[in-house]
Copies of this chain bind each other. A is one copy, B any other.
Amino acid sequence: MRAVHNVNDLQKALESAELIGLVPTMGALHAGHENLIETARRECRTIVVSIFVNPIQFGPGEDYSQYPRTLERDLEACARRGADLVFVPSVEEMYPLPQLTFVEVTRISEHLCGKFRPGHFRGVATVVLKLLNIVQPQRAYFGEKDMQQLQVIRRMVLDLNVPVTIVGVPTVRDPDGLALSSRNKYLSEEERRAAPALYQALQAAARRIKEGERDVTKARTAALEILEKHPLVRVEYLEVVDPDELAPVSTIGSSVRIAVAIWVGRTRLIDNVFVNAG
């Protein structure tokens, strides 16, 4: 495995590569990322992991400067899971000029996190398209924990005819249900004990829907009741949405997704589950 820091070196290393799989990350790798790399390893010939904390997807006042950076351990994890190349560009390598070009995925970007993080998905779509153009992979891997990001990228690829297959990989959870996230590192012990309420709330709403509930308000209430028991938790949004564009639905049809964002202290956590309402 080799770490490369600039586009030219990466492209030279990939010159005769076949069936490239790209795993774009912001580093601070955990078992969820490792699962992405392992999935890519099974399906592709050459595995590229990118590690880049992308400034243009963070809003003012967000955690860009605090975002955990653990490069040495990340490189070990990449090697262990079978990556061939790790692309670790500087901000100047990714944005040598003032970035004037942005990719906007309308509608899908506007709900859920998009409402609370204006410009976030624009920054995500733009950097992912850059990475796809730099690496030119046949397949690229993204976690389902960030479902809105995944759907934004899927639609970008369709709408712009980008020649790549986007693969969504199921969320990896701690034994108590908390979805793995680099931001879990921010949690104090007490906050960490409250955090599993996120997934418990999703499961409670999902159970109600599977049992036949078709009223969105009632399904939401089942989830909110669980979250409201925790004084450390503040709900940012909790929505029942259509599984494609992730727009909140007013009545529950054959399948929905439930998506939630909470603050636990100063840490923002998101999660989501798919529900086949049958």
Residues of A within 8 A of B (CB): 7, 97, 99-108, 125-126, 129-130, 133-134, 136, 155-156, 158-163
| B-chain residues with CB within 8 Å of residue A101 when the two chains form the complex | 103-106, 125, 155-156, 159-160
Report the nearest B residue to A108, measured CB to CB.
Answer: B100
Most buried by B among A136, A158, A160: A160
Q: How near does chain B come to A17, taking the closest CB pair, in angstroms? A: 14
Most buried by B among A101, A126, A160: A101
Q: How near does chain B come to A159, taking the closest CB pair, in angstroms? A: 4
Q: With A101-B105, A103-B103 in contact, is A126–B160 under 8 Å at CB?
A: yes
| B-chain residues with CB within 8 Å of residue A129 when the two chains form the complex | 160
Pick the 8 closest A-B CB pairs, nearest first: A101-B159, A133-B161, A100-B106, A101-B105, A130-B161, A101-B156, A134-B161, A102-B104
**Contact of A155 (CB < 8 Å), options: B100, B105, B156, B162:** B100
Whether B162 lies near A133 (C-beta < 8 A) is: yes
A105 to B100, CA, bound (A): 5
| B-chain residues with CB within 8 Å of residue A160 when the two chains form the complex | 101, 103, 126, 129-130, 133
A7 to B101, CA, bound (A): 26
| B-chain residues with CB within 8 Å of residue A105 when the two chains form the complex | 100-101
Q: How near does chain B come to A272, taking the closest CB pair, in angstroms? A: 20
Q: How near does chain B come to A12, taking the closest CB pair, in angstroms? A: 14
A163 to B7, CA, bound (A): 12
A101 to B105, CA, bound (A): 4
A160 to B127, CA, bound (A): 8
A153 to B159, CA, bound (A): 18
**Contact of A159 (CB < 8 Å), options: B7, B99, B106, B156:** B99
A133 to B164, CA, bound (A): 10
Whether B161 lies near A97 (C-beta < 8 A) is: no
Q: How near does chain B come to A204, taking the closest CB pair, in angstroms? A: 32
Q: How near does chain B come to A104, taking the closest CB pair, in angstroms? A: 5
Q: How near does chain B come to A254, taking the closest CB pair, in angstroms? A: 21
Q: With A134-B161, A161-B7 in contact, is A102–B97 under 8 Å at CB?
A: no
| B-chain residues with CB within 8 Å of residue A107 when the two chains form the complex | 100
Q: How near does chain B come to A253, taking the closest CB pair, in angstroms? A: 20
| B-chain residues with CB within 8 Å of residue A136 when the two chains form the complex | 163
A97 to B161, CA, bound (A): 12
| B-chain residues with CB within 8 Å of residue A125 when the two chains form the complex | 101
A252 to B140, CA, bound (A): 48
